């Protein structure tokens, strides 16, 4: 008998687990991810073997299916069953990044490294997450491979300018001692920089190898340049602040950085910065020149300050990564390299964004608008000209690329919240989304209609619009989204009511200060009719006490209690009616009706809700205390 009991008990337990798992799977299909996770946990407690098999199977089926929320819900459960599965934790981190949930992504990669400190992909994925980049695993490693191999600073190409510097050498005879002092090997040997592995001997070998590799650049001609004499010649013979003098100083400054001649490079970039104090390129190169004196920590700190106000400056990001790598701060250097990779993707590999923008402007003026926009659009996060951004946005509006136009108008408002063109542009896009949703509803396509309404909600929410979205989500059985929107609608109504109540209370307080007590009582009454709050009643009763009318305070309190009770009863009736109507709408939509029946269904609930509210307002206006 005991054996039979155990058998039947086990069978009943299995049935219960299967029922829970079936319910959890059903919730997952309906996008109730949190609720599904709770059910999966219940099943795991009852029968870990059966539950883990089901959860693992579902997770494998969901991988690559484009449902990050479902993957996370299942993956977290699988990770609870197998906490040392760092591969899974890494996949979850990558999935969080697809949702742009950078914080949770970083948590997952830290989890990987806690259980496996040598997990290479987790290191790279963590750095990419800090840089807010989605590249992952092998792609992430290869994305910054070239940057990690760099040992010398990344600097502009000065081949054209070098020819002019070489010509200048004919104007003076090199002094061997001076060359040794300013540009010779003795100066280059002691740069004060800390190599990646901490060995100065290795660093010299690495630089020498680089010099041999780049033999074409370090030709006999360029080696004949005497930085000290050339600097003196530029200052003495070229017209101050002329274009020729500026170009010569810049070229010589970059040359000195390449040759690690820090003192002359500093003097040159300081000279240029006196005329262009806001030039970020010059500030960056001056910091590099100062770093050659050996204070790498100070250079890194200065770079952090530059990036605080110029986060998209490519030369600063990449060179800060190189300095961090020299200090042995590998993970921080990877963040800089990933940021540089992201920025260079935008500018198609160019470090100088201004030159790219000039090219795009020329294309636009020549009538090649499409080619110009292709250059402009990736750079929108970096463009600060409101006029240029408006031009790009208007192009997208004309091509009916509403999503792109909206993001660009938002960028403009981030720069200047009062920009009239951007505000009007966003209004026109909102209207366009509503028009598109209406057209889809006429075609009995609620899915695409809902997508357009959601985009409109993202711009500006209204009670009517939220109600339409709720109706369509009910038709499409998107239960999770329906609940979310119902909460949004409730919060919207509460905010609106709060504003109206506060307005009446302010008017009441103003009337009391003027000694118009009857008017003050009337305003308090109106506030209570909008929403019967105890705090408003207290203000009204306090007023009655102040004007020495305790009898009126008692009457007001009795009226308040009755009114509050009647409102509660009315809300219950309205809730029942709304539920009945939503069921009716769903039934009507399932039938083969007229082409515009979907539109009618979508708009019925919102229209009824507004009519009920207007009835309440009319009734409240008719009553008097």
User: Cα dist. 230→170, 216, 243, 269 in Å?
Assistant: 10, 22, 17, 15
pLDDT at residue 431, rounded to an integer: 92
> How far is residue 425's CA from residue 402's CA, in Å, rounded to a whole number?
10
| In a shared domain, residues 191 and 62 | no
Q: Classify residue 621 by burial, with Cβ atoms within 10 Å: 0-12, 13-18, 19+.
A: exposed
Element (H, E) at 466: helix 463-475
| In a shared domain, residues 325 and 403 | no
| In a shared domain, residues 560 and 583 | yes
pLDDT of 208 > 60? The answer is no
273 part of a folded domain? yes
User: Cα dist. 506→536, 540, 599 in Å?
Assistant: 11, 12, 42
What is the domain count for the chain? 4
Residues 490-511 have a mean pLDDT of 89
pLDDT at residue 31, rounded to an integer: 67
DSSP string, 433-455: HHHHHHHHHHTT-HHHHHHHHHH
User: Cα dist. 540→411, 497, 504, 531 in Å?
Assistant: 47, 18, 12, 14
65 part of a folded domain? yes
> How far is residue 33's CA from residue 69's CA, in Å, rounded to a whole number?
7
Q: Classify residue 126 by burial, with Cβ atoms within 10 Å: 0-12, 13-18, 19+.
A: buried
Q: Single out the residue in 119, 135, 151 at which a domain terminates.
A: 135
| In a shared domain, residues 377 and 307 | no
| In a shared domain, residues 126 and 44 | yes
| In a shared domain, residues 341 and 362 | no
- Tokens found for residue 527: 């506030």
64 — pLDDT class (breaks 50, 70, 90)? low
By residue range, what is the domain housing residue 250?
Answer: 159-210+218-346
Q: Which of the given ranges, 7-11, 180-184, 205-209, 486-490, has the highest pLDDT on average?
A: 486-490
Q: Single out the residue in 326, 346, 366 at which a domain terminates.
A: 346
- What's the CATH number where 451 sits? 1.25.40.10
| pLDDT tens-digit readout, 282-296 | 999 999 999 998 888
| In a shared domain, residues 375 and 341 | no
Higher pLDDT, 306 or 71: 306
Mean pLDDT of all residues belonging to the chain:
80
Residues 199-222 have a mean pLDDT of 42
Q: Single out the residue in 346, 371, 391 at which a domain terminates.
A: 346
> How far is residue 90's CA from residue 93's CA, in Å, rounded to a whole number?
5
Q: Which of 128-132, 170-174, 337-341 has the lowest mean pLDDT?
A: 170-174
107 part of a folded domain? yes
9 part of a folded domain? no
| In a shared domain, residues 300 and 182 | yes
5 part of a folded domain? no
Residue 152: helix, strand or coil by DSSP? coil
360 part of a folded domain? yes
Contact 378, 345 (CB under 8 A): yes
pLDDT at residue 145, rounded to an integer: 93
227 part of a folded domain? yes
| In a shared domain, residues 224 and 304 | yes
pLDDT at residue 190, rounded to an integer: 37
| pLDDT tens-digit readout, 234-245 | 888 888 888 888
| In a shared domain, residues 267 and 406 | no
> How far is residue 95's CA from residue 79's CA, in Å, rounded to a whole number?
14
Higher pLDDT, 144 or 181: 144
| In a shared domain, residues 332 and 368 | no
49 part of a folded domain? yes
| In a shared domain, residues 453 and 539 | no
* Helical ranges in 99-226 per DSSP H: 102-115, 120-130, 137-143, 145-149, 159-168, 176-183, 185-189, 200-213, 220-223
Contact 152, 258 (CB under 8 A): yes
Q: What is the pTM of this model?
A: 0.69
């Amino acid at each position: 008998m005991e054996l039979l009991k155990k058998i039947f008990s086990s069978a009943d337990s299995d049935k219960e687990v299967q029922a829970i798992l079936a319910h959890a799977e059903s919730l997952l299909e309906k996008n109730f991810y949190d609720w599904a996770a709770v059910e999966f946990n219940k099943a795991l407690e009852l029968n870990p073997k059966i539950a883990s098999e089901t959860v693992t199977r579902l997770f494998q089926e969901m991988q690559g299916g484009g449902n990050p929320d479902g993957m996370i819900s299942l993956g977290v459960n699988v990770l609870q069953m197998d906490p040392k599965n760092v591969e899974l934790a890494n996949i979850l981190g990558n999935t969080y990044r697809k949702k742009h949930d950078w914080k949770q992504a970083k948590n997952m990669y830290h989890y990987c490294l806690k259980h496996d400190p040598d997990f290479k992909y987790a290191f790279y994925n963590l750095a990419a997450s800090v840089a807010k980049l989605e590249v992952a695993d092998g792609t992430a490693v290869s994305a910054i491979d070239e940057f990690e191999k760099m040992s010398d600073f990344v600097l502009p190409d000065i081949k054209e300018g070098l020819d002019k510097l070489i010509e200048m050498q004919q104007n003076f005879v090199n002094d061997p001692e001076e060359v040794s002092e300013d540009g010779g090997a003795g100066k280059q040997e002691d740069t004060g920089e800390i190599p990646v592995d901490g060995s100065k001997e290795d660093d010299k070998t690495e630089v020498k190898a680089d010099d041999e590799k780049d033999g074409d650049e370090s030709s006999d001609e360029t080696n004949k340049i005497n930085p000290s004499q050339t600097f003196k010649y530029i200052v003495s013979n070229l017209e101050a602040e002329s274009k020729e003098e500026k170009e010569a100083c810049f070229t010589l400054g970059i040359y000195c950085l390449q040759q690690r001649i820090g003192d002359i490079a500093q003097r040159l970039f300081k000279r240029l910065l006196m005329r262009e104090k806001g030039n970020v390129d010059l500030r960056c190169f001056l910091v590099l020149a100062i770093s050659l004196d050996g204070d790498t920590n100070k250079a890194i700190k200065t770079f952090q300050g530059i990036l605080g106000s110029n986060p998209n400056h490519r030369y600063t990001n990449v060179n800060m990564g190189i300095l961090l790598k020299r200090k042995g701060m590998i993970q921080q250097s990877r963040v800089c390299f990933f940021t540089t990779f992201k920025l260079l993707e935008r500018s198609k590999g160019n470090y100088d964004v201004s030159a790219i923008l000039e090219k795009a402007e020329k294309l636009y003026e020549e009538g090649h608008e499409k080619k110009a926009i292709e250059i402009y659009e990736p750079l929108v996060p970096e463009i600060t000209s409101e006029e240029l951004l408006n031009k790009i946005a208007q192009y997208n509006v004309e091509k009916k690329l509403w999503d792109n136009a909206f993001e660009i108008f938002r960028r403009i408002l981030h720069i200047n919240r009062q920009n009239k063109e951007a505000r009007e542009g966003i209004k026109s896009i909102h209207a366009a989304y509503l028009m598109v949703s209406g057209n889809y509803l006429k075609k009995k396509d609620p899915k695409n209609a809902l997508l357009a309404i959601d985009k409109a909600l993202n711009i500006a929410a209204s009670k009517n619009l939220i109600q339409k979205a709720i109706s369509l989500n009910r038709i499409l059985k998107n239960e999770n989204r329906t609940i979310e929107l119902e909460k949004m609608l409730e919060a919207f109504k509460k905010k609106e009511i709060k504003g109206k109540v506060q307005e009446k209370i302010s008017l009441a307080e103003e009337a009391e200060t003027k000694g118009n007590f009857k008017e003050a009582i009337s305003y308090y009454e109106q506030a209570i009719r909008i929403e019967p709050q105890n705090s408003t009643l207290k203000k009204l009763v306090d007023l009655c006490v102040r004007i020495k009318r305790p009898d009126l305070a008692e009457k007001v309190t009795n009226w308040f209690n009755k009114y509050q009770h009647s409102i509660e009863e009315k809300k219950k009736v309205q809730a029942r009616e709304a539920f009945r109507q939503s069921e009716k709408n769903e039934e009507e939509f399932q039938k083969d009706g007229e082409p515009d029946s979907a539109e009618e269904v979508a708009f019925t609930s919102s229209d009824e809700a507004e009519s009920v509210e207007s009835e309440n307002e009319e009734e409240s206006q008719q009553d008097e205390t």
